[in-house]
Structure 1
Amino acid sequence: MCSYKERKSEPSEMMQLDGYTVDYIEVASANLMFGIDLNGGRYFFNAVREGDSIAFACEDENECSLWVMAMYRATGQSHKPAPPVTQDKNSAISKIQGGNKLQ
């Protein structure tokens, strides 16, 4: 992984992915894990290795999924990450199943 500054072609930081495990995290979990109010993203994932945890954020859900899958393939981990089910998706599923019927 590389960290780039805006409008610069040279990486400012590099990270080797060997030994890391990547997975999606929800915003509330990210805030608890890192103890800060996370700004600059709506969708979060992290890479963990031996007590070291690095959080990543994306504005777009599809972009987040692409990053997670790319890191999943790069790390060779056995567990395939699954995106968290959001409240909106829960309510849509609930409506389909008839869970929100008015009586």
Structure 2
Amino acid sequence: MSNFMIVILILATALITAFIKLVPLFIKIPENNPIINKFFEALPYTVLTILIFPGIFTSTGTDTFNIIKVLAGIGIIVWLSLKKFSLGVVVPVSIGIIFLFDIIKFMIG
């Protein structure tokens, strides 16, 4: 790839990023709209699910213990999310549960 193409790609990426960040300055979003509020509340969980969910099933394996570990991790995420815990609690606790399962597997054999 030539240096010119790299510069064009960097400029295009910068323009797209700047456009996305500047759009809220020009578009007024109603503050008390319950539909929009629910959308923004669910957005972090949705993005994390899209990024992480496929990797969960491709990185574990087909062993029964690994499938139980994945289901426990998903279960704890769903349970904490339904209890309205913040994302700063949900992510570390779910990672801790998965780590605990790995420690148990290491100790068993």
Structure 2 length normalisation: TM-score?
A: 0.26
Considering Cα pairs closer than 8 Å and 6+ residues apart, tell me whether 1 or 2 has the greater RCO: 1
Structure 1 length normalisation: TM-score?
A: 0.27
Higher strand proportion, which one?
1
